[in-house]
A and B are shown apart, each in its own frame.
Chain A
Amino acid sequence: MGVLGHRSGVPSETDLDEVTTNQCAVPEEHPGTREDPGGAEAGGPDLAAAVVAAQAGDEVSFGLLFRAAQPGLLRYLRVLVGSDAEDVASETWLQIARDLSSFRGDWNGFRGWAATIGRHRAIDHLRRVKRRSEIAVPVERFAEIPAAGDTEGDAVDAMGTDLAVALIARLPREQAEAIMLRVVVGLDAASSGKVLGRRAGAVRTAAHRGLRKLDQWFGQDIDKLFGRDPRAE
């Protein structure tokens, strides 16, 4: 994970607000502790080099960047615009392709930059359509949410990415975005803050609140959870 190496740890000043110093003793982001959905795992393509080569016009490298960044981006956009995420992702990539030569940064910076563009395009989109289209996940699948005590969690193993993202999308937007940027796009709190225009501490707090809420959802009655009977629709 040499690509991510230079970002390891050292929480910045802003990282410390809203969380005690003690709690921040663990480095913010541990390269390699999480499987990167973008395919940047150790031994994967050198995405830092791909950024440089793509900026010089190398199409193959651009393809690498696309395949590495698109899944996380698409899932993040799903939380923002629901089933329109693919359209918004397309718009995002058109802009990335066009503006790549003006981008300055490494692979991590690229991910954050791509997420920022995606977010802008999503906000544009929401202004146009005036509403967020819900993610189409069969309501029966929410029954797969296991009880909190179910530590074996076979049901969670079976839980697909779509369902997990759909659940996160049910959180208040700032919480959902914070979790998606950190867990799925793979940014640290500071980089997520840049995307969201907020301080790292605020992003961290939002993510924590979201996690607590998700945790409470496990085992809850579906109807109660969403304040209505989904099956009635």
Chain B
Amino acid sequence: MSANRAPQSIDAMTAERLLRGESVAGHIPLARLLAAAGAPATPGELPGEAAATLAFRQASLTPVPSTRRSSMLKYAVAKFLTAKVAAVVLVTGGAGGVALAAGTGNLPDPVQRHLPGAAASASHGADASGGPSRAGDQSAHPLRGLCEKYAKQDRERRQLALQNDGEFKQLTEQVRSRDREQVDKFCEGVRHQHSGAPSTRPSNAPGGPPSTAPSARQGGQEASAQAGSGQASRSASGQSGSGNR
């Protein structure tokens, strides 16, 4: 390809016109090649829409802790209920007739009612991180769920995500940095702190009895001493009473 500078070489202006899709005299084959490359989509080029839509639905339903998201969540749920078509296609593996029936609301009730559950279990299976971290311990670090989710990303994705005020905005705010290593470190700590939490609870239990036992003994001694003095006073008053009679 040393013949880069051929006499009829395309100048920059011509190249720009070709790149914009214009047909340039003397370069018709090239223009057509570019047109072929940029031709309208064929149905074969649209695979994966169902999977992408499922991921989208899952992402829409996963609450990102921010006030704006709560209304978005409601909106997503409302939209989801109207988007039965996609759901039925997923559930039935794309039976066209059923999808049509669902779209027009003509599915038998049990099928219609089954849909949200089916989608929920599907999304749960696809990514378990959303559920546990959300429903999980409120006692753990408030950012623990987010950190778990964050830790599941590969390095490059983490880096990319931190540059945007997206789902990990809270982390960048907390750490006051968009530096991946710092956020990594922070999340490591948060996650470690959580995994350590259950082991601190049992360690309280052995500490309990030894400390309560002496106080119980003390209490018992006091009680018996009081009881003894009571008896003594009663017998004393009894004696005095009988003496008075």
Chosen A-B contacts, 15 in total, with CB atoms closer than 8 Å, are A23-B12, A35-B40, A70-B45, A75-B37, A93-B55, A160-B36, A180-B37, A183-B21, A184-B37, A184-B38, A204-B16, A208-B10, A212-B9, A215-B10, A215-B27
* In the complex, residue of chain B having the shortest beta-carbon distance to the beta carbon of A172: B1
For A157, list chain B residues within 8 Å (CB).
Answer: 32
For A33, list chain B residues within 8 Å (CB).
Answer: 20-22
For A99, list chain B residues within 8 Å (CB).
Answer: 59, 161, 164, 166-167
For B109, list chain A residues within 8 Å (CB).
Answer: none
Selected contact of A216 from candidates B1, B21, B49, CB within 8 Å: B1
Which residues of A line the B interface, CB within 8 A? 19-20, 23, 26, 28-30, 33-39, 54, 56-60, 62-63, 66-67, 70-72, 74-75, 86, 89-90, 93-104, 117, 120, 124, 146, 148, 150-153, 156-157, 159-161, 163-165, 167-168, 179-180, 182-184, 186, 204, 207-209, 211-216, 218
Number of A-B residue pairs at CB separation under 8 A: 214
CB <8 Å contact, B33 and A90: no
* In the complex, residue of chain B having the shortest beta-carbon distance to the beta carbon of A93: B52
B173 to chain A, nearest CB (A): 14
Q: Is the interface of B mostly helix, strand, loop or mixed?
A: helix
For A148, list chain B residues within 8 Å (CB).
Answer: 29
CB <8 Å contact, A39 and B40: yes
- Known contacts A102-B164, A215-B30; 11 further A-B pairs (Cβ under 8 A): A30-B20, A39-B40, A60-B83, A100-B56, A101-B64, A102-B161, A124-B154, A157-B32, A182-B19, A207-B19, A215-B9
Q: B6: CB under 8 A from chain A?
A: yes
For A75, list chain B residues within 8 Å (CB).
Answer: 37, 45
